Chains A and B, each alone.
Chain A
Amino acid sequence: MQDVAEFDVVIVGTGFASTFFLKKLLESKTIKRVLVLERGSRHSYAWQVENIRNNNLEIPRPHRETGLPGKWWNYTIGFGGGSNCWWTNAMRLHPSEFELQSRYGVGIDWPISYQDLEPYYCDAEDDMLVSGDNSSSIMFPRSRPFPQPRHRYSEVGSALKAAYPDETFAMPTTRGRVANDRRGVCCAVGNCTFCPNQAKFTIVEEMGHLFEDPRVTLELEAEVLAVETSAGLASGVIYRISGQEKQARAGFIALGANGIFNPFILLKSGLTDGPVGRGIVEQIPINLTIDFTHAKTQGFSSYIGAVNHSFVDGPQRAHGAGGFVEIKNFFQARPNRDKWNNQASAVFLLGDLRNEENRVIVDPDAPDHPMVVFKDWSPYAYAGVDYVRSRLHEFFAPLGIDRIEGNFGKAGTHSHIEGTTVMGLDPRTSVIDGDLLHHKVRNLAVLGSGAFPTSPGSNPTLTIAALSLRSASRTVLGHS
């Protein structure tokens, strides 16, 4: 062990959770020294597009996984984390997702409500210049308008909007609708992982300046090994850099690795209180190819146009999962010159309840690495799939359908790792509280979607950012 440096705050990771936490933190003049530890390297977005990869790691995902065949867990290690490869959907969670138990007697209520998070949703949307549809406030109440205009629907999206006007909106997204000094305009070709126009929000391009703040020390290729505690409080972290172990002391520590590595670090640190690592989950998908009688896939201004929330709420949620369906503008022609463009891909993503048999553990054969054990989604998730499946033709009928072809609940990944450091009121059934503070170690925050007590029928990123803004505000900055 070598130098021991002192900091006000140590933040682990540079993805959405960590960077939004840092952003809020730096608003305070009382914060003088922040250490940020990033396991990967820093690559400009131009480097990523040129090299067609988001990082330079030989093993991009250093964990092992077992269980349901075909199910795998995706994330990006490197400066900016998932913002490098994300497809930029920036949805809020529906208010019902925060209170499934109260409304429908299933799962567990979150310790915070939609109203608690709403101002931070607005802040995160402003920070990321989200393009969105203000009329969506009918389902997702909002106190400020979106900072960018919504994207344009395809003909298929317009038909869906006409059929379900109060439940269909343009997908909120950080793909540029209007060019500005930060971002180009989305060209809608659907190559978002390596956006050719730099038309999407990335931390590398748009929040990298935070790490240039003189108060911030950024250590790259620094692998955090453990959180140290003393007298019931976090006292610092041990990390490895250039083959050497180092130690940093801090008055506050925020873990923002991801939903696999946050619980792994806690387990390696002996912080095993509560269901650490237990309950890993992400949305269950339904992938559709739909042939339309009249509606065409054209006229859109972004890769994903319309999103519909008809299945997110309602009495069926007592029995099965709910979620959204997005119309993708993935181009695939029909073999018919009169209907060659009358086709669209659609994806339902339905949430789930945590099952603690699905978990992140320390790999027994390689204790320096985590292992994910995922047996399956819950019967609640599959009941949701069955419900949607039974309603599909009726739901799409107003659009005029020639054929619907579907893959129901096919295992894959959506890069949403949830439920492994769950937040709640009871330390016996949760790891952190509603401010993302560890129940036992009160100067340790555990950020990210691992905090989600239920897997929502939604993309998680905006909520991750909003939770981090709220956590930093209420913990380190002391606002309530």
Chain B
Amino acid sequence: MSLSRRQVFRAVAFFSAPAGAGAYLFLHRPAGYEAIKETVKVAFGPDILSDNDLERFAEDLAPYLGHYLSQDDLLAAAEWFKNLDREAIATGDQAALEFARAAAEEAPRRFARFVATHFVESTDFAYGPSAARVRYLGLFSEWPALSAFRCAPLVDYDADDGWPT
């Protein structure tokens, strides 16, 4: 997807703006929205969601960024996003992905964790982490994604039960 002139303008305004204004703009499309999509691609692979699912996920999640993340978190994410080699990531270039993943766990880690956490909670990734493509089930769709994955009575990992039978 290419950016519109308006999106480019707002993104440039964001990256060159003072911190407060920058964070404000980052909360709104396209910058935050694009950064969410890019984080998913970096963290889980460029083809992990269909374009349509990725768009929906980013649209759903973007409004929550400002509620849960600080301005410092958003600025760190913006800086990381600015330096991404997005073309290489889109082709699945392993070196670029590894570099971007490592960077995502540094300064922008709170942003990256926020996106990654909601990705796992909102898709069926947890059931098949090795799958090439997963489905977006809806933001905060705790069922069946998160609860089922985490609910010991429903999913048994054959771990030590700790009690004589």
CB contacts (< 8 Å) of B146 on chain A: these are 189, 331
Complex CA–CA separation, A189 to B115 (angstroms): 19
Complex CA–CA separation, A298 to B163 (angstroms): 18
CB contacts (< 8 Å) of B161 on chain A: these are 149, 152
Say yes or no: B105 contacts A301, CB within 8 Å.
no
Q: How many chain B residues touch the partner (CB < 8 A)?
A: 34
For window 19-35 of chain B, which residues contact chain A by CB distance below 8 Å? none
Selected from B48, B116, B119, B147, the residue in CB contact (under 8 A) with A189 is B147
Q: Is A170 an interface residue (CB 8 A)?
A: yes
Q: Is A333 an interface residue (CB 8 A)?
A: yes
Say yes or no: B120 contacts A333, CB within 8 Å.
yes
Q: Is A209 an interface residue (CB 8 A)?
A: no
Q: Is B56 an interface residue (CB 8 A)?
A: no
| Subset of 28 A-B contacts with CB under 8 Å | A149-B162, A149-B163, A152-B162, A153-B162, A158-B159, A185-B153, A187-B152, A187-B153, A188-B151, A189-B142, A189-B146, A189-B151, A299-B159, A302-B152, A332-B113, A333-B119, A333-B120, A334-B113, A334-B116, A335-B42, A335-B105, A336-B101, A336-B104, A337-B45, A340-B116, A340-B120, A340-B125, A403-B105
Give, as a whole number of angstroms, the nearest-CB distance from B18 to chain A: 26
Say yes or no: A158 contacts B160, CB within 8 Å.
yes
For window 319-346 of chain A, which residues contact chain B by CB distance below 8 Å? 329, 331-337, 340, 343
CB contacts (< 8 Å) of A329 on chain B: these are 150
Which residue on chain B has the smallest CB distance to residue A329?
A: B150
CB contacts (< 8 Å) of B153 on chain A: these are 185, 187, 301
Say yes or no: B157 contacts A170, CB within 8 Å.
no
Known: A149-B162, A332-B117, A340-B120. A291 touches B150 (CB 8 A): no
Complex CA–CA separation, A177 to B146 (angstroms): 20
**Bitwise interface map of B from 36 to 78 toward A, beta carbon under 8 Å scored 1, else 0:** 0001001111001000000000000000000000000000000
Selected from A186, A340, A402, A403, the residue in CB contact (under 8 A) with B152 is A186
CB contacts (< 8 Å) of A151 on chain B: these are 162
CB contacts (< 8 Å) of A332 on chain B: these are 113, 117
Q: Is B109 an interface residue (CB 8 A)?
A: yes
Given contacts A153-B162, A298-B157, A337-B48, 15 further A-B contacts (CB under 8 A): A149-B161, A150-B162, A152-B160, A158-B159, A185-B152, A187-B153, A291-B105, A298-B150, A300-B152, A331-B117, A331-B150, A332-B113, A334-B105, A335-B43, A337-B45
Complex CA–CA separation, A133 to B164 (angstroms): 12
**Bitwise interface map of A from 230 to 271 toward B, beta carbon under 8 Å scored 1, else 0:** 000000000000000000000000000000000000000000
The interface of chain A, by Cβ under 8 A from chain B, is 133, 149-153, 158, 170, 177, 185-189, 291, 298-302, 329, 331-337, 340, 343, 402-403, 405
CB contacts (< 8 Å) of B162 on chain A: these are 133, 149-153, 170
CB contacts (< 8 Å) of A335 on chain B: these are 39, 42-43, 101, 104-105, 109, 112-113, 115-116
For window 134-163 of chain B, which residues contact chain A by CB distance below 8 Å? 142, 146-147, 150-154, 157, 159-163
CB contacts (< 8 Å) of A187 on chain B: these are 147, 150-154
Complex CA–CA separation, A177 to B163 (angstroms): 10
Complex CA–CA separation, A337 to B120 (angstroms): 10
Give, as a whole number of angstroms, the nearest-CB distance from B153 to chain A: 5
CB contacts (< 8 Å) of B101 on chain A: these are 335-336
Complex CA–CA separation, A177 to B42 (angstroms): 39
Give, as a whole number of angstroms, the nearest-CB distance from B98 to chain A: 9
Complex CA–CA separation, A300 to B152 (angstroms): 7
CB contacts (< 8 Å) of A333 on chain B: these are 113, 116-117, 119-120
Complex CA–CA separation, A188 to B151 (angstroms): 6
Q: Is B121 an interface residue (CB 8 A)?
A: yes
Give, as a whole number of angstroms, the nearest-CB distance from B112 to chain A: 4
CB contacts (< 8 Å) of B159 on chain A: these are 152-153, 158, 299
Selected from B42, B147, B152, the residue in CB contact (under 8 A) with A301 is B152
CB contacts (< 8 Å) of A291 on chain B: these are 105
Complex CA–CA separation, A332 to B125 (angstroms): 14
Which residue on chain B has the smallest CB distance to residue A302?
A: B152
Closest 4 A-B residue pairs measured CB to CB? A149-B163, A335-B43, A335-B112, A301-B152
Complex CA–CA separation, A291 to B106 (angstroms): 12
Complex CA–CA separation, A331 to B162 (angstroms): 23
Which residue on chain A has the smallest CB distance to residue B44?
A: A337
CB contacts (< 8 Å) of A185 on chain B: these are 152-153
Give, as a whole number of angstroms, the nearest-CB distance from B77 to chain A: 11
Which residue on chain B has the smallest CB distance to residue A187?
A: B151
Complex CA–CA separation, A333 to B142 (angstroms): 15
Give, as a whole number of angstroms, the nearest-CB distance from A178 to chain B: 8
CB contacts (< 8 Å) of B45 on chain A: these are 337
Complex CA–CA separation, A50 to B136 (angstroms): 28
Which residue on chain B has the smallest CB distance to residue A301?
A: B152
Complex CA–CA separation, A70 to B121 (angstroms): 31
Which residue on chain B has the smallest CB distance to residue A190?
A: B150
Complex CA–CA separation, A186 to B152 (angstroms): 8
Give, as a whole number of angstroms, the nearest-CB distance from A131 to chain B: 10
Say yes or no: B152 contacts A188, CB within 8 Å.
yes
Complex CA–CA separation, A343 to B45 (angstroms): 20
CB contacts (< 8 Å) of A336 on chain B: these are 43, 101, 104-105, 116
Complex CA–CA separation, A340 to B121 (angstroms): 12
Give, as a whole number of angstroms, the nearest-CB distance from A302 to chain B: 8
Complex CA–CA separation, A219 to B22 (angstroms): 56
Give, as a whole number of angstroms, the nearest-CB distance from A368 to chain B: 36
Q: Considering residues B109, B117, B162, which has the most beta carbons from chain A within 10 angstroms of its beta carbon?
A: B162
CB contacts (< 8 Å) of B113 on chain A: these are 332-335, 343
